[in-house]
Amino acid sequence: MKRKITLKQIARELDVSISTVSKALKNSKEISADTIQKVQAFAKLYNYRPNNIALSLKNRKTNTIGIIIPEIVHHFFSKVIRGVELVANKRGYNVIIGLSNESFSKEVINMEMLANGSIDGFILSMSKETLLQQDYHHYNETMSQGMPIVMFDRVVSDIKCDKVIVDDFNGAKNAVQKLISNNCKHIALITTKDYVSVGRLRTQGYLQALEENKITPQAELILKMDDTLDYEVHLEKLETEIEHLFKAHKYIDGVFAVNELYALSAMKVARRMGLNVPNDIQVIGFTDGVLSKHSTPTLTTVSQHAQLMGERAADLLIDKIESEFSIEEEQFQTVVINTELVERESTK
């Protein structure tokens, strides 16, 4: 394997200055065609690649952005990444992806590692542990060093930065309104603990839809799951809790779940109990993932337009990186992505 070669070594081998090598590699008109050909041929022979970190130390710019996501298995996050990649590549930027695995410490480590000269800015969705601890020092420290951050999906008002969110409240409200319009009288909610902002907003949308239709909310029909548990343990506990809910309240005729997993689990439990979806019980889930299209029956969902969310986040970040505003002039915006109800077989 050939050793990585530097500008200095190329200059020494060809008996020219480092500046001449640098300009020749960029096809500068200041350098003769013969010298350009020699330098580029030598660089190609020895597989020369510019050192982006060294360039960033000199130019303070790497044309690379970092994405920190809380989990990799979720279809929603893969679609966001796709949107970021599309815009980033179009605008001449590379993308590095970091995974926090819902851990505060891993989120901090990822940000510290990438902020050390590797990237120009972050696009991130907060880990559940960060939300639970409400410790945001690493965001503020990163931005105080002049590195912009754009948050998406899971955000907090305490952090002053650009944000891209989905209209969780109205998305949930419209989904529950669909169930009510389909003559559901007793609608259960399967949601997360309130510290997760998206779960809290979707819960509020559920309650608002009931209120507007003069349906009194029943606390016993709201199931709040602790999703910080190990995935397999969480899944087993989820199905057990849903079964208890359905057995204790046999009159439930509709379910709104704040994510795809909860909705599909509700359908699985209902079928196991001999209930027909949608004739006995109708189900709607937030997030239009791959599984929703292939479940039996297929699941009616609230689409978040995840790819569009990624595209908007990338544009916001790159605009910020390339802007020349001073810190005092800096202004932030929150982009709200509208949801769409995708009707399938789990509702009438």
Kindly state whether residues 209 and 120 are assigned to the same domain: no
Residue 180 within a domain = yes
Model pLDDT, residue 308: 98
Kindly state whether residues 245 and 291 are assigned to the same domain: yes
Residue 40 within a domain = yes
Kindly state whether residues 234 and 296 are assigned to the same domain: yes
Kindly state whether residues 176 and 287 are assigned to the same domain: yes
Alpha carbons 261 and 191: distance in angstroms, whole number: 11
Kindly state whether residues 19 and 91 are assigned to the same domain: no
Residue 343 within a domain = no
Alpha carbons 81 and 76: distance in angstroms, whole number: 9
Kindly state whether residues 238 and 272 are assigned to the same domain: yes
Kindly state whether residues 296 and 259 are assigned to the same domain: yes
Alpha carbons 346 and 348: distance in angstroms, whole number: 7
Alpha carbons 146 and 148: distance in angstroms, whole number: 6
Alpha carbons 121 and 89: distance in angstroms, whole number: 15
Model pLDDT, residue 53: 46
DSSP string, 57-92: HHHS--SEEEEEES-SS-HHHHHHHHHHHHHHHHTT
Model pLDDT, residue 57: 47
Residue 344 burial by Cβ neighbours in a 10 Å radius (0-12, 13-18, 19+):
middle
Alpha carbons 277 and 298: distance in angstroms, whole number: 10
Model pLDDT, residue 196: 78
The two tokens of residue 236 are 């087993």
Kindly state whether residues 178 and 288 are assigned to the same domain: yes
Kindly state whether residues 295 and 182 are assigned to the same domain: yes
Kindly state whether residues 77 and 152 are assigned to the same domain: yes
Work out how many domains the chain is built from and give that number.
3
Which among 340, 345, 321, 317 has a CA at the least distance from the CA of 85? 317
Model pLDDT, residue 55: 52
Residue type (1 letter), 254: G
Alpha carbons 322 and 164: distance in angstroms, whole number: 19
Residue 236 within a domain = yes
CB of 161 closer than 8 Å to CB of 332: yes
Model pLDDT, residue 106: 94
Residue 234 within a domain = yes
Question: Residue 262: which residues within 8 A CB-CB, separation 6 or more?
Answer: 190, 191, 225, 238, 285
- CA dihedral sign of residues 241, 242, 248, 249: positive
Question: Residue 342: which residues within 8 A CB-CB, separation 6 or more?
Answer: 288, 292, 300, 301, 302, 303
What are 192's strand-pairing partners? 225
Residue 229 within a domain = yes
Residue 342 within a domain = no
The two tokens of residue 40 are 């580029």
129: domain CATH number is 3.40.50.2300
Residue 344 within a domain = no
DSSP string, 259-278: SHHHHHHHHHHHHHTT--TT
Which among 343, 346, 188 has a CA at the least distance from the CA of 276? 346
Structural domain that includes position 28: 7-50
Q: What is the DSSP letter of 220?
A: G
Kindly state whether residues 180 and 296 are assigned to the same domain: yes
**Which three-class secondary structure state does DSSP give residue 195?**
coil
Model pLDDT, residue 22: 85
Per-residue tens of pLDDT for the chain, all 348 residues: 344 577 888 888 999 998 899 889 888 888 999 999 999 999 888 878 776 545 544 556 889 999 999 998 888 999 999 999 999 999 999 999 999 999 999 999 999 899 887 899 999 999 999 999 999 989 988 888 788 999 999 999 999 999 999 999 999 999 999 999 999 999 999 999 887 788 899 999 999 999 999 999 999 999 999 877 666 778 899 999 999 999 999 999 999 999 999 999 999 999 999 999 999 999 999 999 999 999 999 999 999 999 999 999 999 999 999 886 555 467 899 999 999 999 999 999
Kindly state whether residues 209 and 311 are assigned to the same domain: no
What are 342's strand-pairing partners? 301
The two tokens of residue 101 are 């695995």
* pTM of the shown model: 0.80
Alpha carbons 34 and 46: distance in angstroms, whole number: 19
The two tokens of residue 132 are 């639970």
pLDDT digits (tens, 9 = 90+) for 293-325: 999 999 999 999 999 999 999 999 999 998 865
